[in-house]
Chains A and B, each alone.
Chain A
């Protein structure tokens, strides 16, 4: 451990966590290596592919370009923390029905981003869904199944609301 290690206190998936971390450790490594929350996947480690997207205080963020020390006092939610989230449950159902995942590596980041898109853009058409999701890369699905899954959730919510 580096001599410059810092002690931080944060909430991870609703649980208080105290940890001493090296300043250079990014949040993705912290979650995976220390908290054993391996659902957050690292696809590029330079903030482009979106596989490592998590929520910080409810907002999507790239855990690979966020330092763990910068999360002192924050609340972090990973894909594992969305097990009981009703909207995440709707998305999981829709991703499965629409074949929105193949190898599953980009999927945790996709779900976190999609959840945000459904909340932020409740009237999004396919084009708007694609634009809103464009910060996440998938190499398997060709995106059609993912767009259809998000479309399905948005449509169901609008039908139920109407």
Chain B
């Protein structure tokens, strides 16, 4: 268990956030809050059809010069976005920032309009007349892979970005296993819906001769790399800045076509320009996450011990491959992580990244794990049902036990630490399973059906070099760097290339630095999310920032500590650096002490007092860091939920929700809790509400918050969290990434709870979201066959 103290304000302390005050006073600075002198606004003409050839673009005479198309960008040397994977067989799509003769999804940008205000730019957009010759549409991934389906990319032989095959044959197990259960499972296409849409302000800084792109991104350095490729501009001529960013969840982890367009327009017109994604643009053009389909079979013995799992999985990857994650990361990840936290020996999984006439898929919080967990955890319950045991008992039967840690699973994922079965036992106790079972037996006076569901998941975070090298995509995480600088007045500046958009890094990285240097939090300043001011980083994704950049901050601060001790020892005429200690912001030797502030003063203002052999690097350090394992860390959790299902109207009420979570050492437990609460809320959305429906012509059927439902105050439960604290053996302080886990297990736990409730009716639901309509049709289907 963790050795770190929870007192004070270092690692483990529940301290309030440094970023709160400005945000609580409306003094944050989001992209939409930035206005530059002479700035123009952009509005996009977007395709109203899912698949068509553009036969003409009519620009009214009075707006010539204010409307630009791909022909203009291409003549200016702009290249399409190319996000290639090195995995064998990957088919390359090219995504022009504005459609090049063909549109492939509803909402695809076709032309851009420039005006003094957004309203006027939208007026111009409404006057642009585009002729479309409509083509047959792929609106469903299972149809799109069939022979004869219309091709999204004409020169491809089919509509599959990539097929992967993991594992070997399990025919022998399939032939002999006493228990065999199969399911068809599906998750819906979703929008990520950060409350702030995307936005970008671009100008050419004449003084430093740089294109300055201020954008709501999670990965400024990667956006810079992608822009450089598309604009054929040296990276040194581009600065990408992320200001306050209003939530991301993955949607802000890509190079956007609109960013490329805005950058080019700013250079072409030599004027600052701004584009702000409105909610309708987001819901229509960015419905880009989570759509999975599984045909899955589990084999087990009579006790429910898993003997093998085999699956075919399809992921609807949309029309193009996004930069940098590519179109295949999600489906290929399904193949490697479907086994979840379980220990079994035989496995086969085939995956397809399917190209359709929908927006390109982008990794959403949890990436493939939410779908994978939804599938695998349904199978655990199905096995339990088949062998007549409680689902939690079958989980205990199959989870990797603590004595096997660290553990390499069937797909060679290296689980670092933890007691997975204990998380189940604690969840069973905390939800009060016996009480619910008694209530189930007694029946509800209102006729509703009670159900309890569990789901266990693990969350790989801080992904390493080898796996991403294997993907062969435009981004491979290596050593993460941080800069730490003692200021002349004894404060500390930290500079990191990751980006905080709600994760509280201004506070938590300061806590890490405080733990090492003892400098008070209020004197520590984090600079982040700016290619001009920070070391290179692949950015904030994959629950990596605390492990990677936090580790780098600690490493840099340790070097600073050594240098402070050396100077401090000299100033106190101590025997040497080994004769002093750095504690509470001062270097001490016996009764003598010299503060960090005094040492800083010496370095900057009184260098004549420094020792002759002082480190010439001074009080500024750039340090690189990688965890001890290239496989990253594995946090894990068991979610338990009790529901009441109304069989007459199909409505689900969540009666209690418990998360037992092991995030390793927590730098700030309050922040960890916040990540879990927020993740669960999104998971509840995935489970019960969120779905972007498409008709057969590829038309999205939701475009407002009245028809795309995200959970609100009355839909999300007052979640209870129980922490386990097993440090990772591979990271600074034993921390593990935790940003996504909350969003992974809820659909699975809720599905299992609903099916537990529906058990007396002899029906199951297997698709998310589990809306009243889905539940009622399951019940009606059974009644129809009865």
Cα–Cα, bound, A144→B716 (Å): 9
Cα–Cα, bound, A107→B285 (Å): 26
Q: Report chain B residues within 8 Å CB of A146.
A: 713
Cα–Cα, bound, A22→B671 (Å): 44
Give the contacting residue for A48; candidates B24, B705, B716; CB below 8 A: B705
User: Cβ of B713 and Cβ of A103 under 8 Å apart?
Assistant: no
Interface residues of A in 30-89 (CB under 8 A from B): 32-33, 36-46, 48-49, 51, 78-80, 83
Proximity bits, A2-24, B CB within 8 Å = 1, else 0? 00000000000000000000101
Any chain B CB within 8 A of the CB of A121? Answer: no
Q: Which residue on chain A has the smallest CB distance to residue B118?
A: A29
How far apart are B244's CB and chain A's nearest CB, in angstroms? 7
Q: Which residue on chain B has the smallest CB distance to residue A144?
A: B677
Q: Report chain A residues within 8 Å CB of B17.
A: 96, 99
Q: Which residue on chain A has the smallest CB distance to residue B680?
A: A142
User: Cβ of A44 and Cβ of B718 under 8 Å apart?
Assistant: no
Give the contacting residue for B32; candidates A38, A130, A131; CB below 8 A: A38
Cα–Cα, bound, A42→B245 (Å): 13
Proximity bits, A121-139, B CB within 8 Å = 1, else 0? 0000010011101101111
Stretch with Cβ within 8 A of A (4 or more), from B140-148, B497-505, B622-630, B753-761 = B497-505
Q: Report chain A residues within 8 Å CB of B706.
A: 46, 48
Any chain B CB within 8 A of the CB of A111? Answer: yes
Cα–Cα, bound, A83→B247 (Å): 25
User: Cβ of A138 and Cβ of B670 under 8 Å apart?
Assistant: no
**Contact A140-B30, Cβ < 8 Å, known A41-B246, A46-B706, A92-B24:** no
User: Cβ of B704 and Cβ of A48 under 8 Å apart?
Assistant: yes
**Contact A38-B33, Cβ < 8 Å, known A25-B119, A130-B714, A145-B677:** yes
Q: Report chain A residues within 8 Å CB of B503.
A: 102
Among A95, A130, A138, max chain B CB count under 10 A is at A138
User: How many of A's residues come within 8 Å of B, CB to CB?
Assistant: 55
**Contact A138-B195, Cβ < 8 Å, known A42-B32, A102-B678, A144-B719:** yes
Cα–Cα, bound, A161→B291 (Å): 53
User: Cβ of B195 and Cβ of A105 under 8 Å apart?
Assistant: yes
Give the contacting residue for B279; candidates A41, A45, A144; CB below 8 A: A45
User: Cβ of A24 and Cβ of B279 under 8 Å apart?
Assistant: no
User: Cβ of B119 and Cβ of A24 under 8 Å apart?
Assistant: yes
Cα–Cα, bound, A103→B681 (Å): 15
**Contact A142-B26, Cβ < 8 Å, known A46-B706, A48-B706, A101-B20:** no
Interface residues of A in 88-117 (CB under 8 A from B): 92, 95-97, 99, 101-108, 111
Among A33, A102, A143, max chain B CB count under 10 A is at A102
Q: Report chain B residues within 8 Å CB of A158.
A: none
Q: Report chain B residues within 8 Å CB of A134.
A: 712-714
Cα–Cα, bound, A147→B673 (Å): 14
Interface residues of B in 713-733 (CB under 8 A from A): 713-714, 716, 718-719
User: Cβ of A137 and Cβ of B714 under 8 Å apart?
Assistant: no
User: Cβ of B249 and Cβ of A139 under 8 Å apart?
Assistant: yes
Q: Which residue on chain B has the smallest CB distance to residue A36?
A: B35
How far apart are B40's CB and chain A's nearest CB, in angstroms? 14
Proximity bits, B501-527, A CB within 8 Å = 1, else 0? 111100000000000000000000000
Cα–Cα, bound, A10→B8 (Å): 49
Any chain A CB within 8 A of the CB of B682? Answer: yes
User: Cβ of B195 and Cβ of A137 under 8 Å apart?
Assistant: yes
Chain B residues within 8 Å of A, Cβ to Cβ = 16-17, 19-30, 32-33, 35, 117, 119, 193-196, 244-247, 249, 278-279, 501-504, 670-671, 673-674, 676-682, 704-706, 710, 712-714, 716, 718-719, 742
Chain A residues within 8 Å of B, Cβ to Cβ = 22, 24-25, 32-33, 36-46, 48-49, 51, 78-80, 83, 92, 95-97, 99, 101-108, 111, 126, 129-131, 133-134, 136-147
16 inter-chain pairs at a CB distance below 8 angstroms, sorted by A residue, are A32-B32, A39-B27, A44-B279, A44-B705, A45-B279, A46-B705, A49-B279, A99-B17, A103-B195, A103-B502, A105-B196, A107-B24, A137-B712, A139-B678, A142-B742, A144-B677
Listed from nearest, the 6 A-B pairs whose CB atoms lie closest are A39-B26, A104-B23, A105-B246, A142-B677, A103-B502, A102-B502
A49-B279, A144-B673 are known contacts; what are 5 more A-B pairs with Cβ within 8 Å? A37-B26, A48-B706, A104-B22, A139-B193, A142-B677
